[in-house]
Structure 1
Amino acid sequence: MSDSYQLTQGDTPLLISMPHAGIALTPEVEAGLNKAALSLADTDWHIPKLYDFAAELGASRIEARYSRYVIDLNRPENDTPLYAGATTGLFPSTDFDGEPLFEEGQESTKAQRDWAKEHVWRPYHNALAGELARLKSRFGYALLFDAHSIRSEIPRLFDDQLPDINLGTFEEQSCDPELSQTLQAVCAAQSRFTHVVNGRFKGGHITRGYGDPANHIHAVQLELSQRTYMNEPDDEQPIFAYREDRAAEVRPLLRELLEAMQRWGEVRGC
Structure 2
Amino acid sequence: MSTAAKADANPNAEESVRPVSLRRDVPALIIVAMTLLTFVAVLTHDPADPVPTSVWPISEFYTPDVSAYPINESVQNACGSLGALISAVALDALGIGVSLLIGAGGGIATALLVRGHMNAPVLRSLGGCVVLLGACTAASMTTIELAGMPVVGNGGYLGAMGSTFLLQHFHPVGSWILTLTTLAVGLLLTTDYMLVYAGKKVVVGSAKVSRRGIARAAGAMPVTLKRRRQPFSDLDSPILIDGEVPPVPEQRVDPPEPNIQIRGPLRPTEETGENAEEET
| Shorter-chain TM band | under 0.3
More strand by share: 1
TM-score by length of structure 2 reads 0.22
More helix by share: 2
Considering Cα pairs closer than 8 Å and 6+ residues apart, tell me whether 1 or 2 has the greater RCO: 1
Q: Which structure is larger by alpha-carbon Rg, 1 or 2?
A: 2
